[in-house]
Amino acid sequence: MLKWLSKFCSPQQLYDAGVLGMNARNFHIISKHNQRRLYPLVDDKVQTKTLANNIGISTPKLIGKIEHQYEVKNILDIINQYTEFVIKPAQGSGGKGVLVISDYHDGIFTTASGRKISYAEVYQHISNILSGLYSLGGKYDTAIIEELVHFSDVFKEYSYQGVPDVRLIIYKGYPIMAMTRLPTKASGGRANLHQGAVGVGLNIQTGKALHGVLRNQPVTIQPDTGADLMQIQVPYWQEHLLIGALAYDMTGLGYLGADIVLDANKGPMMLELNARPGLAIQIANGFGLKTKIKEVDKYYPENLTANERVKFVLNYRHAK
Ligand SMILES: Nc1ncnc2c1ncn2[C@@H]1O[C@H](COP(=O)(O)OP(=O)(O)O)[C@@H](O)[C@H]1O
Ligand SMILES: [Mg+2]
């Protein structure tokens, strides 16, 4: 995971840089701050959507869901008003089983990468989702059908055929680290780093690019479009931070990842939450989470509202 940093740094240097490793994340941070009983709130995307909408955070609209095999045949009725949509497992992760349909006409489905698929294939895909093929622990799952997000033009030259997102790490309700994840040809329209998407660390106060990472290697240009990643400035930055801060209020999880997409017309939306967010964000930022966590424990006030926490972050004089 942190191979790139470890190439340049000794274990002592990594420790001094405040890099959080997998064990420390699991045992000191996650088990201490995230109660197990709260996990279903974020592990199930239907529940996450409902909670988010209840406190006024927008999400891609749920068109419908399919819970049982005998309902799979209803798919054409569910999507009958739509020519584009996304089908995905409610309890999936890492982009597995996400089928982005950018066009549906006359019984032919076209995926985001331009592949044409038939009704039989879509039927099989949903059936596979229900049987747990893409889900945590292979449990039976629900298939979600939701509206397609049209990402904002500001990201156009930075991503290839897919929706980029912003991943925030939220600790005790404070957004502490950020990166944008940009789909590439290799990642098939998905913004997941282990599918081959590019990660670009963002300054938490401004939303401006810091460093890029692709498959654990440093990178400064988008591999498919050639665009200069260091020019990225995510707009509506304060709104992104507020969605992150509210993710804490809505779940009670002390440490979590919030994934936010910027729709061209509807603005920033929460796509999903994660109770065990990955650690590569540290590489994209060039500094460690442990440093930030210590900073929050020591200097950040408790009992502020989400809005106040965002203001605090924006005005804090960061060590980095
Ligand atoms: N509604 C949507 N519109 C457009 N792209 C989407 C949509 N939902 C998911 N995607 C694409 O698929 C990726 C993975 O979906 P996500 O909901 O985050 O599931 P996972 O838990 O598998 O990461 C996203 O990062 C995004 O690139
Ligand atoms: Mg995701």
Minimal-distance CA residue to ligand 1 atom 8:
86
Minimal-distance CA residue to ligand 1 atom 14:
95
Q: Tell me, yes or no, whether 226 and 243 share the same domain.
A: yes
Write down the number of H helices and E strands in the chain.
12, 13
Indicate if the alpha-carbon torsion angle 4, 216, 203, 35 is positive or negative. Answer: negative
User: Residue 206 falls within a domain, yes or no?
Assistant: yes
What is the pLDDT, as a whole number, of residue 1? 42
What CATH number should be reported for the domain holding residue 202? Answer: 3.30.470.20
Domain end: 146, 176, 196, which one? Answer: 146
What is the pLDDT, as a whole number, of residue 25? 84
Which atom of ligand 1 is the closest one to the Cα of 149?
3
* Residue 89 beta carbon below 6 angstroms from any ligand 1 atom: no
Domain end: 146, 161, 181, which one? Answer: 146
User: Residue 228 falls within a domain, yes or no?
Assistant: yes
Burial class of residue 271 (count of CB atoms within 10 Å of its CB; 0-12, 13-18, 19+): buried
Q: What single DSSP character describes residue 65?
A: E
How many separate domains does the chain show? Answer: 2
Query: Nearest 5°: phi and psi at 118?
Result: -95, 170
* Residue 260 beta carbon below 6 angstroms from any ligand 1 atom: no
Q: Residues with Cβ < 8 Å from 299, sequence gap 6 or more?
A: 316
Q: Tell me, yes or no, whether 301 and 187 share the same domain.
A: yes
Which atom of ligand 1 is the closest one to the Cα of 274?
21
At 87, list the tokens: 């089908």
Q: Tell me, yes or no, whether 257 and 119 share the same domain.
A: no
Q: Tell me, yes or no, whether 212 and 197 share the same domain.
A: yes
What's the gap in Å between 311 CA and the centre of ligand 2? 27
* Residue 149 beta carbon below 6 angstroms from any ligand 1 atom: yes
* HSE-up of residue 70 (Cα within 13 Å, Cβ side): 0
User: Residue 117 falls within a domain, yes or no?
Assistant: yes
Q: Residues with Cβ < 8 Å from 312, sequence gap 6 or more?
A: 174, 300, 301, 304
What is the pLDDT, as a whole number, of residue 4? 52
* HSE-up of residue 234 (Cα within 13 Å, Cβ side): 34
Q: What single DSSP character describes residue 68?
A: S
Q: Tell me, yes or no, whether 284 and 200 share the same domain.
A: yes
Beta strands in 118-230 (DSSP E): 143-146, 165-171, 174-182, 198-202, 209-214, 217-218
Q: Which of 39, 42, 163 to mutate to test the pocket of ligand 1 (most atoms within 8 A of CB)?
A: 163
User: Residue 159 falls within a domain, yes or no?
Assistant: yes
Q: Tell me, yes or no, whether 98 and 161 share the same domain.
A: no
Q: Tell me, yes or no, whether 53 and 66 share the same domain.
A: no
Q: Which of 63, 86, 159, 181 to mutate to test the pocket of ligand 1 (most atoms within 8 A of CB)?
A: 86
User: Residue 41 falls within a domain, yes or no?
Assistant: yes
What's the gap in Å between 292 CA and the centre of ligand 1? 28
Domain end: 119, 146, 173, which one? Answer: 146
What's the gap in Å between 314 CA and the centre of ligand 2? 26
Nearest to 288 by CA among 30, 10, 18: 18
114 phi-psi bin (left φ>0, alpha ψ -120 to 50, beta other):
left
User: Residue 307 falls within a domain, yes or no?
Assistant: yes
Q: Tell me, yes or no, whether 43 and 67 share the same domain.
A: no
CA distance 141 to 146: 16
Minimal-distance CA residue to ligand 1 atom 19:
95
| Residue 174 lies in domain | 3-57+151-315
What's the gap in Å between 168 CA and the centre of ligand 2? 12
Q: Tell me, yes or no, whether 213 and 68 share the same domain.
A: no
Q: Tell me, yes or no, whether 99 and 198 share the same domain.
A: no
Q: Tell me, yes or no, whether 13 and 122 share the same domain.
A: no
| Ligand sitting nearest the alpha carbon of 160 | 1
Per-residue pLDDT of the chain (320 residues), as tens digits, is 455 555 555 656 666 778 888 888 887 888 889 999 999 899 999 999 999 999 999 999 999 999 999 999 999 999 999 999 999 999 998 889 999 999 999 899 999 888 999 999 999 999 999 999 999 788 899 999 999 999 888 888 998 888 899 999 999 999 999 999 999 998 877 888 888 999 999 999 999 999 999 998 889 999 999 999 999 999 999 999 999 999 999 999 999 999 999 999 999 999 999 999 988 899 899 889 999 999 999 999 999 999 999 999 999 986 55
User: Residue 136 falls within a domain, yes or no?
Assistant: yes
Minimal-distance CA residue to ligand 1 atom 27:
190
Q: Tell me, yes or no, whether 184 and 102 share the same domain.
A: no
Residue type at position 319:
A
* Residue 42 beta carbon below 6 angstroms from any ligand 1 atom: no
What CATH number should be reported for the domain holding residue 131? Answer: 3.30.1490
User: Residue 320 falls within a domain, yes or no?
Assistant: no
Minimal-distance CA residue to ligand 1 atom 5:
163
